[in-house]
Chains A and B, each alone.
Chain A
């Protein structure tokens, strides 16, 4: 997938654990790990919004386009 999810990088920058993030964003741990490993097929705007809010970042910090 040319779209890379940089969730782990942002989490490391903000020093936030997976459990903490899942509590803040209110999505399950398994869904969060699907997102982190790049298995997800789509992301809802509401989820992206909540992630940006929780990590205090822009969508471009979390998602990245890389040419294959």
Chain B
């Protein structure tokens, strides 16, 4: 267990740099290395191509996607060439929104910078969480589990999960605003009935860290459970102190 997390920690460190490099840095023979953001949004409206089927079902049958997930308002597919599409249908009109990860946007917009910051803070938080788990496992190895530092470590992990969930929620909100603007630009009104959380499956630029699940509240629940465990550890710490002073 300990070695698993120790190897995981260093592996994560390497992966972070590779990820950041490939997601945000581009090389051009003219410009050299420059900062960029992966992902480009398109929005279109079409008629359903297979009238017998429900349009969303026809999407599932026709798309060569690696993963498909359904939500109330649409179907999200992640296909092999590195683009993600959400297909929507409101009864009359059929539309789709596509995010292409193979293309780059060079714009230094507020949204892009927000995404970059969110990604970096995520990587760092995951790294620190792995480090803390490593330390906790080390303390188990040293046979001193109920110590003050472990309470701090577990409390940190709990708050980190809650914070990450809030960052994700903000990210979803920002993505929804961007997507809405794009859809309005193409004249697709379909989106008006859709809530931001129905669009969550296509988080804009992060390929690796987003889930296909549109509920973010599991993260908060997880954080709260970890905080409860921290409280249990606090109690355990008191008992341990009592036990140590019993001769």
Contacts and interface: CB of A to CB of B under 8 A. Distances in A.
Interface residues of B, number: 4
B242 interface: yes
Interface of B: 242, 245-247
B241 to A, nearest CB: 8
Interface stretch (A10-18, A39-47, A52-60): A39-47
Contacts of B246: 40-44
The 10 closest A-B pairs by CB, nearest first: A41-B245, A42-B246, A35-B247, A31-B247, A40-B247, A40-B245, A47-B247, A43-B247, A41-B242, A41-B246
Contacts of A43: 246-247
A44 B244 CA distance: 12
A32 B246 CA distance: 11
Contacts of A4: none
Contacts of A47: 247
Interface in A1-48: 27, 31-32, 34-35, 39-44, 47
A43 B246 CA distance: 5
Nearest to B246: A42
Contacts of A27: 247
Contacts of A32: 247
22 contacts: A27-B247, A31-B247, A32-B247, A34-B245, A34-B247, A35-B247, A39-B245, A40-B245, A40-B246, A40-B247, A41-B242, A41-B245, A41-B246, A42-B242, A42-B245, A42-B246, A42-B247, A43-B246, A43-B247, A44-B246, A44-B247, A47-B247
